[in-house]
Structure 1
Amino acid sequence: MPTRSAAVLTSGTANAARLFVAALAFTSAYVGFSAYNNAGSAAAEPPRTVTLAARDLPITEQITEPITVPAKAGEVFVSLVTGGADCLKTYVARGVVVNAGQSVAYGWKLTRWSPATKTWRTYLVEYDGFAGDAKTVEWRPQVTGNPGWYRVELTAEGAKTVRSERFQVSC
């Protein structure tokens, strides 16, 4: 029996050595062929000219007149501020955050209705905070060339999320 086990062990080691040598030869040939192609193609390719183009976007003016709709706690009011070129629309969202502690963090979220999934999906997000009892907060999200149904959500730590009525953006 010992001679039979030794013969099997020897033939297995020989097969492993052959496979290793074959893999090493294949890898060497691949690396050599790749180096040959890279060296030959670097000198033969002519230089290319790349032209960059830029598009000017209009600058929107800052609104100086006050928004006449008063903000209320538990509500988010959204109105269109400007509608510019290339379907650039700026909205203003207002709400009141009431704080029971020393400081509070809050976040805005602009969500867009997805007809494919039949859910509201996040489009833009912004976070802020303040110290004090209550504050009227404001956010100015912009939508550019993406028509659809949107709504704004205001979330403050320790309070439930307040959502605006949905509104439609069209170009």
Structure 2
Amino acid sequence: MPTRSAAVLTSGTTTAAKLFVAALAFTSAYVGLSAYSNASSTPEPTTQVTLSARELPISAPAEELATAGKVTVSVLTDGGAGCAKSYVARSLVANPDPAAPVSYHWRLARWSPSAKAWRTYLADHDGFAAPERTVEWRPQVSGNPGWYRVELTIEGAEPIRSDRFQASC
């Protein structure tokens, strides 16, 4: 029996020694590879960046950039899908009598090739009681491509017309 136990003990020790050598070889290879990658990586050259900022005063809010006697029209990016387009029309309206209210009327006109005339497509009206105000209107053209213009009529004055613009799909 002692020879059998010694044989089992010797083969178990041999297996354990082989496993220990394999683990030691794996660990040294991992450590060597990590050291190699750390040694071969060169640090990036440092570049100094100086950031500066300056404060600019806001001279006028966006809605006050409209001018009297002129209607400006812009396309809004939040228009609907397909042929639906939203626009914003702006103008500066001066009240000749600040003590009394002033009324104004918006008209979106579409060019009619058959009648060769501008026809009303949409209309709106409003008013205010102040010396002057930037007024704005947001018409929407839905599924009706063609040439358009915006007209602003202030009570007691001639209409002010925007440049024509084309709505297309």
- 5+ residue gaps, structure 2, are 1-60
Q: Is 2:118 the partner of 1:123?
A: no
- Matched letter for residue 115 of structure 2: T
The alpha carbon displacement at 1:86 in A equals 2.7
For residue 110 of structure 1, give the secondary structure of its aligned residue in structure 2.
strand
Q: Tell me, yes or no, if the aligned pair for 2:63 and 2:134 is still in contact at 8 Å.
A: no
Match of 1:85 in 2: 81
Which residue, out of 129, 132, 135, partners 1:134? 132
The alpha carbon displacement at 1:69 in A equals 8.4
For residue 117 of structure 1, give the secondary structure of its aligned residue in structure 2.
coil
Q: Distance in 2 between matches of 1:75 and 1:99?
A: 15
Q: How does 1:1-171 map to 2 (within 5 A)?
A: 67=62, 70-82=65-77, 83-101=79-97, 102-171=100-169
For residue 150 of structure 1, give the secondary structure of its aligned residue in structure 2.
strand
Residue-pair matches, total: 106
- Matched letter for residue 81 of structure 1: L
- Matched letter for residue 150 of structure 2: V
Q: Give TM-score, length-normalised by structure 2.
A: 0.60
Q: Give TM-score, length-normalised by structure 1.
A: 0.59
For residue 87 of structure 1, give the secondary structure of its aligned residue in structure 2.
coil
Larger radius of gyration: 2
Q: Which moved further from structure 2: 158-167 or 69-78?
A: 69-78
Change (3 A) 1:69 1:85: farther
The alpha carbon displacement at 1:84 in A equals 2.5
- 5+ residue gaps, structure 1, are 1-65
Q: Distance in 2 between matches of 1:160 and 1:68?
A: 23
Q: Distance in 2 between matches of 1:92 and 1:149?
A: 16
Match of 1:30 in 2: none
For residue 90 of structure 1, give the secondary structure of its aligned residue in structure 2.
strand
Change (3 A) 1:147 1:69: farther
